Chain A
Amino acid sequence: MSIRERLSGNEAVATAMKQINPDVVAAFPITPSTEIPQYFSTFVANGAVDTEFVAVESEHSAMSACIGAEAAGARAMTATSANGLSLMWEMIYIASSLRLPIVMSLVNRAVSGPLNIHNDHSDAMGVRDSGWIMLFSENNQEAYDNTLMAHRIAEHKDVQLPLMVCQDGFITSHSIENIELEDDEFVKNFVGTYRPEHYLLNDKEPIAVGPLDLQAYLFEHKAQQADAMRNAKQVILDVSQEFEKLTGRKYGLFEEYKLDDAEIAIVCMNSTAGTTKFVVDSLRAKGIKAGLLKVRVFRPFPGEEITKALSHIKAIAVLDKADSLNGIGGALFEDVTSSMFVQNIHVPTVNYVYGIGGRDTTADQIESVYADLAEIAQTKNVGNPYRYLGLRKGDVK
């Protein structure tokens, strides 16, 4: 039986962690994710969880402690943002290559510099090919639900990869919204007990983890990781389906919002999807066939499924909340367009970089994107595909 509550995104994740009751949490405070380990440490102090809380001296150590704990056979969790994730960089790859299903809450924030503490997706995009499963969350409910599903996905024998649950810093992490929580017993049963087949503290099987892996082996071990990432897609669908049966809350690889009969569509992730739904509704009321595809599973990237869902659209805008500074476009744009190209589906598609450093993205701006798309659908002329939304720019031609 679900419990109706009002929580911020950070409270929602901390509550999920309390209910999961992991063996180890190692974390270092960084805005805007600070509240997660802060709330969690009170659960530890109050005896609400049995977790060993490791107050580390840096994020590099936070991830290192999670790696050690997970390799030892424990269930380990952490939370971070932006530069905290940057400092974990080295260990992020170690975690995935050692196939340790650590679960991390990533509260998305702009990576410095110049220094900024507000939301964009540059932190997540920096680790997008590091071998972590990446789930994005539109609101606090999704951040909570994704966290409840995380261990089932990450620890699955066909996967065994770490997983990060992303949500937008401040926009959802610090906004209090209505939420449906599951009770402690439900979470305990759904998440289950972690029973790894091999682990360092098993005195009946002495093992070595992370040995030297030279020319004769690293290639194959990386290919195993790639296989596991591909396997994760089906596992995510299976776990989500079971979750839906029990809670009534439906999750897939992505959400299609009024996309079936849409002629123009936006593809985006996290909280901007909420704004976009509002705009889609108002455009629909005017008879404009606008739709939205909200990516939930960014890694593994569901390229075939997204292509299928978008193949009937006349013009697409992909919104990237991180500029890739590569001269060609944002990461989500590249993934969507290359997925469609290799499947020989050619729809006029443009990229909008938006919301950098926490810049507000308004309904009017989203509406202007749909207006641009209507024109592209009509003229078939894409023009400049690499665009900005909400950027101050003079009229200098």
Chain B
Amino acid sequence: MSDINVNTPMENLTIGGNIYTSGNARDFKTGDWRSAKPVYISENCKQCGLCFPVCPDNAIPVCKDTLQRTDFNYDYCKGCGVCAKVCPFKAIEMKEEGEE
């Protein structure tokens, strides 16, 4: 099931594209849909924890041991900007994708 990819012949695909396992949304990277990009400014971050619960995908990794967030995982960030909006400390700045 999880080994289905763009080279899988039709005979080995599930009907209707059904997915018979769970927890595989991480296999579907949607970061290339992004036109705006959040930039993490770690020196402003107070680790208040407001940003990661509002991320609709899996773009803000949080360390299990320290419970501290790290830099964005852009594989899953569609650039919606919700995290930047909720940040009280200007630790997330939205930029145009491709801008340095």
Contact = CB atoms under 8 A, between A and B. Distances in A.
Chain A bound to chain B? yes
Interface of A: 97-99, 160, 198, 205-211, 213, 216-217, 220-221, 223-224, 228
B67 interface: no
A220 B20 contact: no
Nearest to B25: A208
Contacts of B6: 216-217
A322 B10 CA distance: 36
B86 interface: no
6 contacts: A99-B15, A198-B18, A207-B21, A211-B19, A216-B6, A224-B13
Nearest to B19: A208
A160 B19 CA distance: 17
A97 B18 CA distance: 11
Given A205-B20, A217-B6, 10 more contacts: A97-B16, A98-B16, A98-B18, A206-B21, A210-B16, A216-B6, A217-B17, A220-B9, A221-B15, A228-B15
B15 A220 contact: no
B22 interface: yes
Q: What 8 pairs across the A-B complex have the smallest Cβ distances? A: A220-B10, A208-B19, A206-B22, A216-B6, A99-B15, A98-B16, A213-B17, A99-B16
Nearest to A197: B20
Contacts of A207: 18-22
B14 to A, nearest CB: 8
A127 B13 CA distance: 26
Interface size bracket, B side: 10 to 19
The A interface, classified by DSSP as helix, strand, loop or mixed, is loop
Contacts of B9: 220
Interface in B13-58: 13, 15-22
Contacts of A98: 16, 18
Contacts of B22: 206-208
A217 B13 contact: yes
A210 B17 contact: yes
A397 to B, nearest CB: 55
A224 B19 contact: no
B25 to A, nearest CB: 9
Nearest to B24: A208
Contact of A223 (B10, B16, B17): B10
Given A216-B6, A223-B10, A224-B10, A198 B20 contact: yes
Contacts of A216: 6
A211 B13 CA distance: 13
